[in-house]
Each structure stands twice: as structure tokens, then as C-alpha cells.
Structure 1
């Protein structure tokens, strides 16, 4: 049986130009929280990622699915130790629990969409990153102590958000 419609949930239109969009600076990348878990009843979140040349997260894994659609540039995904270069127009799915990370290898900024299901990664990024004013906002100039604090916080919160840094 399909449950009744929930009129408390509304249509969501993801527009990164909307002034209400939250932008997060994290490890040199800028992420726009396009659709949050709060908007989908926790089913998924959608994040637009802008990654500078050479940028990307450290090796990690998590118990949720993560799908990336490359919009601009080339991203090198290291999945279970094997490297795969993925170009604009392609989509990659990272299965839950698989070790992985990515690097922008395009020689220019790259853009991609990231969908996580179930949601939670959006909240994690907000708790460990720095909210910035938009795409063009420079990343905060962090001291060594502040960078160490961000890494410590990420490590402490990883288990809460079903993630592990490798």
C-alpha cells in the first residue's frame, strides 16, 4: 500500500542563486546545500560542490550511498584503491561502506552534484565547515590551530554521521 500524501511536505526548488541557499567552505571546497535532509524527510540530500584544482577530501568511507554527477571539469575518484578519471556529463555512484576519495585533476575549478541517501552529509558539512556568503566568497583564512580544530571536530563527529576517515 502506498501511504497517503503528506501535505506538510512541500515542493522544493533547488536554485543556488536563491539568497536562502547555505554555502559551506570545507577543505578548500565550497558546497551549496541545495536540498537538505530536513526538506526530504531524511531520505536524501543534494549538494552542489565547487572544487578547486587539486582539491578534494581525505580518504574516507560511510554507510550511505553517494552519487556524483560531474558538471564541469575532471574528477579523479580513488575507489577501493583504484583510480578512475570521470569527466563532465558522467555520473558515479559510490556504494555504502566502500573506501574512496576524489581529487580535481582538471587544471581548473570543477563542479559536481552530490546526492547522499539517506541524508546526513549535509548536516555533517555544516557542523565541520564554515558558512560563507556564496560561491565567490573566499575560504576563511584559518590558523594552524583552527585547521587542527576542524580536523578534530570532523574526527569526533564522524561516527555520529556514519563516517570514518581512513
Structure 2
């Protein structure tokens, strides 16, 4: 068995201690949800990103797939996931892993806000959200209501950028 050698410590990387309520974090309204970037790829050498998601009743993205792993840990509430066409419900305390390339979506049908952590590995999804989202004041801020035309413009922008971020938006 070959010997394994751990590389030396990268002294350019720093410890990250993050308060999700820090106003200086990037808080983004995306598809009616509010996403707060807790750790970006810049902080993790591109290994992963961590996003705090507030999903209001009725919120969540439509069907899509991407070539990176995506894990959700429910902090508050419950949410419906559709994975390869099959529905399941995750409740506070539960963790859901979406394998790379698998079609999926999620929707809050609980009647109350859901809060969950989303980890994407490798990083990059946070950059996509920054490019399609709208800045909001905090992790608890509600996403602005979009008119039909604004929502259509959002979808067109997301669809145009998706391939750059290794994502495919699917038909419902």
C-alpha cells in the first residue's frame, strides 16, 4: 500500500466563523426565497459553498439538475423534495443529499417558512445565485414580489446563465 502524505498547511487560508445574521454577508432574493451565502468558494478553496436558505410557503425552485452534489439540512419546518419524479418530505433535523446530475426540485407546502442549509460541492452555485438574485437586507428579509414580466425576465436570465454553472433547467 502506497504511503499517503498530507500536504503542508496552506497558510493563505483562514478560519471562517460566520454569523448568519451578519448584515455584511451576501443576502439574495432568488425565486421568492432568501439565500444567505455563509461560506463561498473563495473561502473554501472552491471545495464547497454553504448557503442559509429561507423558503416561504409556496417557495422553491422548479425542476433542474446539475453536475455537483447538493446537500440540504433542515433547521426549521418541513419541505417537499421531488427527486427523479418521486415526492418525499423532509422535516427539521433531517438531511437530504441530491446526487450530481439527478433531476430534482423542492417546494415548501407546509404553510410556514422553512429554514435550511444548502451545501454544494464543489463551490460555484453561490456565484450563480449572486448573478440571478436580487440583494436584500438580511437572511430574514422577504424576497420582493415579482410581476409576471419580472419573473419571466428572471427565468430567461437563469436559463441563459445555467450552462455556465453546469446546470440544466427542466420542464415541470
Which TM-score tier does this pair reach, normalised by the shorter chain? over 0.9
Matched, 1:37 2:4: no
Q: Structure 1's 124 and 86: CA in aligned 2 closer, same or farther, altered over 3 A?
A: same
What's the TM-score once normalised by structure 2's chain length?
A: 0.92
1:158 pairs with one of 147, 154, 162: 162
Q: CA deviation at 1:149?
A: 1.8
Alignment-derived partner of residue 110 in structure 1? 114
What SS is found at the alignment partner of 2:42?
Answer: helix
What's the TM-score once normalised by structure 1's chain length?
A: 0.96
Note the aligned Cα RMSD (angstroms). 1.1
Q: Which moved more, 1:60-69 or 1:7-16?
A: 7-16
Instruction: Give the number of aligned pairs.
Output: 166
Q: CA deviation at 1:143?
A: 3.6
Unaligned residue ranges in structure 1 (runs of 5+): none
Where do 1:54-133 residues align within 5 Å? 54-133=58-137
Q: CA deviation at 1:105?
A: 2.0
Based on CA coordinates, which of the two structures has the bigger radius of gyration?
Answer: 2
Q: CA deviation at 1:163?
A: 0.3
Matched, 1:48 2:49: no
2:169 and 2:160 mapped to 1: Cα distance?
11
